[in-house]
């Protein structure tokens, strides 16, 4: 299990889990317990540990139980002088009279604690005699704190003791690994582990991050070498921004250290120091960048969910914020698992509490009659209790710690997958989701390899291994099939709905209400500020409820999460060869069910997959200056190219020669496009005009004089023309095909004008014609609603002129290139720059499929880029000057480029 795989730092039998929740371990002394066994005079050697709410004696002899005496149960703590006369030299004794004693790990077995009540006296001798009086004074002080009536007063007194101890000590600089290390800062913090935390001193140097526990447990100092750090994250702890988690292993879900600071300023200083140290080799990942990789199939569903959990402050070291994964199956009773049947799966559009209609109606009736703050569910889908419910067989000590030294009632234990799912559907207060272990490789949490006695149910059966569904032969088989289900077609197509509920826009507000996804206000970040509560008892109660009840993840998305791009063919990559013969998981749709669009999409993917095999068909020099635009008729027979030599030329692909040439003015033509009628070519010019060339008549058909500076680029959708200009506007024109008004000089009517702060150099529409994107000379990208003409996003993402811009085929992302030599991927929904690639030269034009970019460079080469890895994968020699224009057909199988060398080049993909 993730948090159990941390580096074992101590071989001691003692564990911080033996303390009460939110209790501190302060100090330890070697001591002898007098009369510890049936032999009255026997002395047992061990470790005497002073804790904030108890004292613990851990015998060296593992046959003896660990003794824990709660300080609140002590009636008398005193020093007893054993010297009957001045000639004796017996050591003083710490004598404790108490009403209760707890015995743990008897015979070194993890089991529920044995609690003995009734007056009992214990005597201890410290190995270092002169510390006896000080230890007793400390115990008396902590005893007074434990006996205070108000919990807030108890906590304040213990906290004062802790801070005093931290103030009186400091980090031991002799622990540095090198004498040349220079310390940057030192502060106090707590190392966080599941259910426990350990106070101490943090020191960061130019070589390492050190944590020195106040009590020397589990070791004197813990070191993280800065050059080994791969990831570092700020964390919220108890809904407060105090945590910091450091990973030195890229693919491990458990960190090397999790620290909770006492103030945000210290946390941030440590974070930024390490982040600055790592800035040359640390890649910062965002939810949007992971989303892009997942959408394109470069991350599995499992990997993506773990990344989202990590970004949403979920940590394996914090059981109140343990990673959450969804139930994806609804069938735990059939003899065979049918992943081709949608009824096999859980409805991912609804939270667990809304899956059962009858239960939901009862919950809604209560919700509507509830005073503010109202909530639908009285328990959460993730909490420490739920995590340990699943993991009790591998983390029994954690369960005992959470349950005050006992296991839960046997009938409430994790005994059956089917029963657990059934209770999640029908139980009045059970809405829990799953944890990553259900989709991992280690089945031990489903087995009882340690033969732990978890009790007997009311029917007399003992709790042993978890009962599995009939469709699984054993625990390994269950995990394998469960993993395959998570990566199945159905889940891939619907997982974004569950992400909306847990990490996204349906997590809060009116969308949460409409989705029946409302939990107690204390579970949400910002729901309450504990530091602002004056009453210490109320503040502590609130913090305890936050930690134990469950916490909603940090919200990562505020708009609907996009769906994964999945193939129409229902094939599945098997994660294990064991299941390669399961026909119900690998069948494909028949050819009768496959549409033409499917074939086109598959051919596009195939073409882009072979783009490295691009080769020249023919080269033709048809202009006197640089080529600026390329347009092609629908049948591909005629190619039109505009140039800075002010001409548009028509080239015959079949005859391999240019047939027509037309000049509209004495200034350069900047671009051209084919109108939908396939009979007209529009040409933009630096003389502020747009010219329309009639192919059937071979002459200029119309002129649009609509701008005050050069028209840089155009796009067309339906019956509307969009023209971008260096006069800082983009204008929308409606075409009147009949030109009924003879008074008009042009058959286009101005509909709208988009204002910009600088000249517009690039413009593009999404495939549906609903969104418009513009790129300016100042480096700004603007995304507009083409229907309402409203500005959706404005992103300053380049430091110079934007050369080219385009939507992805799914309209979710925009790619832009600029004079700053960068390629930038922008998320349309959020306006976030999701990916940035810096090249060695400018890229003047490009085509892309969302993952791969074919760009034309300033040097004349064609460059092939992989945006998911941000790498240049191929350089293809092309023109002798900058590539200034590029055209690709719908099937992505044919490419035409134009350059400053006055040539157009025809390309094909070699197969």
Burial of 498 (0-12, 13-18, 19+ CB in 10 A): buried
The neighbouring-strand residues paired with 209 are 204, 224
Comparing 525 with 898, the larger pLDDT belongs to: 898
Residues 265 and 330 in one domain: no
- Please give the Cα distance from 667 to 647 (Å, whole number): 9
Task: Output the six-digit token pair for 64.
Answer: 């003896």
For residue 769, being part of any structural domain is answered with yes
- Please give the Cα distance from 321 to 549 (Å, whole number): 10
Ranking 113-122, 508-517, 603-612, 808-817 by mean pLDDT, the lowest is 603-612
Burial of 722 (0-12, 13-18, 19+ CB in 10 A): buried
Ranking 314-323, 392-401, 504-513, 829-838 by mean pLDDT, the lowest is 829-838
Q: How confident is the model at residue 151 (pLDDT cuts 50, 70, 90)?
A: confident
For residue 39, being part of any structural domain is answered with yes
332-385 confidence digits (pLDDT tens): 999 999 999 999 999 999 999 999 999 999 999 999 999 888 899 989 999 999
- Stretch 642-656: mean pLDDT, rounded? 87
Residue (of 294, 312, 308) closest to 555 by Cα position:
312
- Stretch 375-400: mean pLDDT, rounded? 93
Q: Which of 118, 133, 166 is the last residue of a domain?
A: 166
Residues 70 and 209 in one domain: no
- Domain with residue 243: its CATH number is 2.30.29.30
Domain, as residue range, for 182:
172-284
Residues 324 and 272 in one domain: no
What is the structure's pLDDT at 890? 85
The label of the residue with tokens 């690994």 reads 177
What is the full DSSP assignment across 101-154?
EEEESGGG---PPEEEEEEEEEEEEESSGGGHHHHHHHHHHHHHHHT-SSHHHH
For residue 491, being part of any structural domain is answered with yes
Task: Output the six-digit token pair for 144.
Answer: 């007074």
- Please give the Cα distance from 761 to 778 (Å, whole number): 10
Task: Output the six-digit token pair for 749.
Answer: 């009517």
- Please give the Cα distance from 406 to 397 (Å, whole number): 10
The label of the residue with tokens 């025809």 reads 906
- Please give the Cα distance from 785 to 772 (Å, whole number): 6
| Pairing state between β 871-876 and 240-247 | unpaired
215-233 confidence digits (pLDDT tens): 999 889 999 999 888 888 8
pLDDT of residue 526 exceeding 90, the answer is no
pLDDT of residue 6 exceeding 50, the answer is no
152-163 confidence digits (pLDDT tens): 888 889 999 999
Backbone angles phi, psi at 906, to 5 degrees: -95, 135
Q: How confident is the model at residue 169 (pLDDT cuts 50, 70, 90)?
A: very high
40 torsion bin: left (phi>0), alpha (psi -120 to 50), beta (else): alpha
User: What's 342-391 look like in SS3?
Assistant: HHHECCCCCCHHHCCHHHHHHHHHHHHCCCCCCCCCCCCCCCHHHHHHHH
Residues 136 and 213 in one domain: no
Helix (H) or strand (E) holding 263: none
For residue 555, being part of any structural domain is answered with no
- Please give the Cα distance from 718 to 769 (Å, whole number): 8
Q: How confident is the model at residue 566 (pLDDT cuts 50, 70, 90)?
A: low
**Mean of all residue pLDDT scores within the chain:** 87
Residue (of 309, 250, 243) closest to 270 by Cα position:
243
Contact 3, 316 (CB under 8 A): yes
What is the structure's pLDDT at 868? 78
Q: Which of 837, 854, 871 is the last residue of a domain?
A: 854
The label of the residue with tokens 């003047």 reads 844
Task: Output the six-digit token pair for 648.
Answer: 């548009």
- Domain with residue 355: its CATH number is 1.10.1540.10
- Give percent above pLDDT 70 in the chain: 89
What is the structure's pLDDT at 437? 95
What is the structure's pLDDT at 522? 83
- Please give the Cα distance from 650 to 672 (Å, whole number): 12
Contact 707, 727 (CB under 8 A): yes
Number of domains comprising the chain = 4
230-271 confidence digits (pLDDT tens): 888 899 887 789 999 998 876 667 888 999 999 999 999 999
Residues 128 and 37 in one domain: yes
748-768 confidence digits (pLDDT tens): 899 999 999 999 999 999 998
Residue (of 256, 233, 230) closest to 243 by Cα position:
233
What is the structure's pLDDT at 179? 83
- Among the residues of 522-580, which ranges form H helices? 536-549
Residues 468 and 519 in one domain: yes
447-471 confidence digits (pLDDT tens): 998 889 998 888 888 899 999 999 9
Name residues whose C-beta falls within 8 Å of residue 39's C-beta, 6 or more positions apart in sequence.
none
Other Cβ atoms less than 10 A from the Cβ of 411: the count is: 12
Ranking 474-478, 621-625, 684-688 by mean pLDDT, the lowest is 621-625
Comparing 830 with 554, the larger pLDDT belongs to: 554
DSSP letter for 329, please.
B
Q: How confident is the model at residue 41 (pLDDT cuts 50, 70, 90)?
A: low
Residue (of 643, 657, 701, 712) closest to 675 by Cα position:
701
Question: Helix, strand, or coil here: 236?
Answer: strand
- Stretch 699-710: mean pLDDT, rounded? 91
User: What's 447-477 look like in SS3?
Assistant: CCCCCCCCCECCCCCECCCCECCCCCCCHHH
Q: Which of 809, 825, 854 is the last residue of a domain?
A: 854
Name residues whose C-beta falls within 8 Å of residue 179's C-beta, 6 or more positions apart in sequence.
none
What is the structure's pLDDT at 33? 94
Backbone angles phi, psi at 158, to 5 degrees: -70, -40
Comparing 600 with 684, the larger pLDDT belongs to: 684
What is the structure's pLDDT at 666? 87
Question: Helix, strand, or coil here: 585?
Answer: helix
Ranking 659-668, 723-732, 790-799 by mean pLDDT, the lowest is 659-668
- Please give the Cα distance from 66 to 113 (Å, whole number): 10
Helix (H) or strand (E) holding 497: helix 489-502
Residue (of 715, 747, 749) closest to 730 by Cα position:
715
Per-position b or e across 638-648, b if 16+ CB within 10 A of its CB: bbbbbbbbbbb
What is the structure's pLDDT at 667? 93
**How far is the CA of 397 from the CAs of 16, 24, 70, 104, 391, in angstroms?**
10, 17, 19, 11, 11
What is the structure's pLDDT at 388? 94
Residues 54 and 182 in one domain: no
The label of the residue with tokens 């640089």 reads 626
Contact 801, 785 (CB under 8 A): no
- Please give the Cα distance from 500 to 556 (Å, whole number): 9
pLDDT of residue 585 exceeding 60, the answer is no
- Please give the Cα distance from 65 to 434 (Å, whole number): 36
Residues 542 and 419 in one domain: yes
Residues 244 and 320 in one domain: no
Contact 502, 324 (CB under 8 A): yes
Per-position b or e across 227-266, b if 16+ CB within 10 A of its CB: eebbbbbbbbbbbbbbbbbbbbeeeebbbbbbbbbbeeeb
Answer positive or negative: Cα dihedral of 15, 18, 21, 26.
Answer: negative
Residues 49 and 74 in one domain: yes
For residue 296, being part of any structural domain is answered with no
**How far is the CA of 389 from the CAs of 193, 319, 408, 442, in angstroms?**
18, 12, 9, 17
Q: Select the highest-mean-pLDDT range: 414-423, 533-542, 658-667.
A: 414-423
Q: What is the largest CA-CA distance in the chain?
A: 130
Backbone angles phi, psi at 133, to 5 degrees: -65, -40
For residue 714, being part of any structural domain is answered with yes
pTM of the entire structure?
0.67
Residues 162 and 187 in one domain: no
What is the structure's pLDDT at 599? 42
For residue 184, being part of any structural domain is answered with yes
User: What's 293-306 look like in SS3?
Assistant: HHHCCCCCHHHHHH
- Please give the Cα distance from 440 to 437 (Å, whole number): 5
What is the structure's pLDDT at 530? 61
For residue 905, being part of any structural domain is answered with no
Question: Helix, strand, or coil here: 729?
Answer: strand
- Domain with residue 750: its CATH number is 2.130.10.10
Contact 541, 152 (CB under 8 A): no
- Stretch 873-885: mean pLDDT, rounded? 95
Contact 450, 399 (CB under 8 A): no
Dihedral through CA 272, CA 274, CA 279, CA 280, nearest 10?
Answer: 160
Residues 228 and 320 in one domain: no
Answer positive or negative: Cα dihedral of 892, 294, 588, 595.
Answer: negative
- Stretch 265-284: mean pLDDT, rounded? 80
């Amino acid at each position: 299990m993730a948090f159990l795989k941390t580096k074992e730092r101590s071989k001691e039998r003692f564990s911080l889990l033996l303390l009460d929740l939110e209790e501190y371990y302060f100090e330890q002394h070697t001591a002898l317990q007098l009369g510890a066994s049936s032999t009255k005079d026997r002395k047992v050697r061990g470790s005497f540990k002073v804790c904030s709410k108890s004292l613990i004696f851990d015998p060296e002899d593992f046959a003896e139980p660990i003794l824990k005496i709660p300080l609140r149960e002590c009636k008398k703590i005193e020093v007893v002088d054993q010297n009957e006369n001045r000639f004796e030299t017996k050591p003083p004794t710490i004598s404790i009279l108490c009403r209760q004693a707890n015995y743990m790990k008897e015979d070194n077995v993890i089991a529920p604690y044995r609690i003995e009540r009734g007056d009992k006296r214990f005597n201890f001798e410290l190995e270092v005699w002169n510390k006896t009086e000080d230890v007793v004074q400390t115990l008396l002080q902590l005893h007074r704190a434990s006996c205070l009536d108000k919990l807030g007063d108890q906590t304040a007194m213990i906290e004062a003791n802790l801070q005093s101890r931290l103030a009186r000590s400091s980090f031991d600089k002799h622990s540095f690994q090198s004498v040349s290390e220079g310390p940057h800062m030192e502060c106090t913090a707590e190392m966080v582990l599941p259910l426990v935390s350990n106070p101490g001193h943090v020191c960061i140097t130019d070589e390492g991050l050190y944590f020195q526990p106040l009590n020397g447990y589990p070791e004197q100092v813990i070191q993280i070498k800065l050059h080994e750090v791969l990831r570092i994250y700020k964390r919220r702890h108890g809904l407060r921004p105090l945590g910091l988690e450091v990973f030195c292993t890229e693919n491990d879900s458990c960190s090397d250290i999790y620290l909770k600071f006492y103030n945000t300023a210290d946390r941030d200083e440590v974070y930024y120091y390490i982040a600055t140290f790592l800035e040359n080799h640390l890649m910062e990942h965002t939810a949007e960048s992971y989303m892009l990789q997942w959408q394109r199939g470069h991350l599995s569903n499992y990997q993506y969910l773990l990344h989202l959990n990590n970004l949403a402050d979920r940590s394996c070291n914090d059981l109140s914020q343990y990673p959450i994964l969804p139930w994806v199956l609804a069938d735990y009773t059939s003899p065979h698992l049918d992943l081709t049947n949608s009824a096999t799966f859980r409805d991912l559009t609804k939270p667990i509490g809304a899956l059962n209609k009858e239960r939901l109606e009862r919950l809604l009736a209560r919700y509507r009659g509830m005073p503010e703050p109202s909530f639908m569910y009285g328990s959460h889908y993730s909490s420490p209790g739920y995590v340990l419910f699943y993991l009790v067989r591998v983390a029994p000590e954690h369960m005992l710690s959470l349950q005050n030294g006992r296991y839960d009632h046997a009938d409430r234990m994790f005994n059956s997958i089917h029963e657990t799912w059934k209770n999640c559907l029908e139980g009045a207060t059970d809405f829990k989701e799953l944890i990553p272990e259900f989709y991992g490789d280690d089945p031990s949490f489903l087995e009882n390899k340690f033969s732990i006695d978890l009790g007997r149910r009311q029917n007399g059966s003992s709790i042993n291994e978890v009962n599995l569904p009939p469709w699984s032969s054993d625990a390994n088989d269950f995990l394998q099939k469960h993993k395959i289900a998570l990566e199945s077609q159905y889940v891939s197509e619907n997982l974004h709905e569950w992400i909306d509920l847990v990490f996204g826009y349906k997590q809060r507000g009116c969308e949460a209400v409409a989705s029946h996804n409302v939990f107690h206000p204390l579970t949400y970040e910002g729901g309450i500020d504990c530091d602002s509560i004056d009453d210490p008892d109320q503040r502590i109660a609130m913090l305890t409820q936050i930690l134990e009840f469950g916490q909603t993840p940090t919200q990562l998305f505020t708009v609907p999460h996009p769906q994964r791009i999945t193939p129409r063919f229902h094939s599945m990559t098997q994660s294990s060869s064991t299941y390669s013969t399961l026909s119900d998981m690998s069948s494909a749709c028949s050819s009768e069910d496959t549409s033409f669009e499917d074939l086109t999409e598959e051919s596009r993917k195939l073409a882009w997959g072979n783009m490295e095999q691009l080769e020249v068909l023919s080269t033709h020099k048809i202009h006197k200056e640089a080529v600026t635009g390329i347009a092609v008729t629908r049948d591909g027979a005629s190619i039109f190219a505009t140039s800075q030599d002010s001409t548009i030329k028509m080239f015959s692909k079949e005859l391999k020669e240019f047939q027509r040439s037309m000049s509209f003015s004495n200034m350069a033509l900047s671009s051209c496009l084919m109108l939908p009628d396939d009979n007209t070519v529009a040409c933009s010019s630096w003389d502020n005009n747009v010219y329309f060339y009639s192919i059937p008549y071979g002459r200029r058909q119309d002129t649009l004089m609509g701008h005050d500076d050069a028209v840089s680029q155009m796009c067309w959708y339906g019956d509307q023309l969009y023209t971008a200009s260096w006069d800082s506007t983009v204008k929308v024109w409606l075409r009147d095909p009949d030109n009924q008004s003879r008074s008009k000089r042009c058959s286009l009517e101005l509909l709208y004008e988009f204002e910009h702060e600088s000249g517009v150099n690039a413009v593009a529409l999404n495939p549906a014609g609903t969104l418009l994107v513009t790129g300016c000379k100042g480096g700004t990208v603007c995304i507009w609603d083409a229907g309402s003409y409203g500005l959706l996003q404005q992103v300053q993402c380049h430091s110079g002129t934007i050369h080219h811009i385009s939507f992805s085929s799914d309209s979710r992302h925009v790619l832009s290139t600029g004079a700053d030599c960068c390629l930038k991927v922008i998320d349309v929904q959020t306006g976030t720059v999701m990916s940035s690639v810096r090249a060695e030269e400018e890229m003047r034009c490009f085509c892309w499929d969302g993952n791969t970019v074919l760009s034309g460079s300033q040097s004349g080469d064609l460059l092939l880029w992989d945006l998911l890895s941000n790498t240049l994968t191929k350089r293809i020699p092309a023109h002798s000057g900058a590539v200034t224009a590029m055209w690709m057909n719908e099937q992505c199988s044919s490419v035409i480029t134009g350059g400053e060398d006055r040539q157009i080049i025809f390309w094909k993909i070699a197969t």
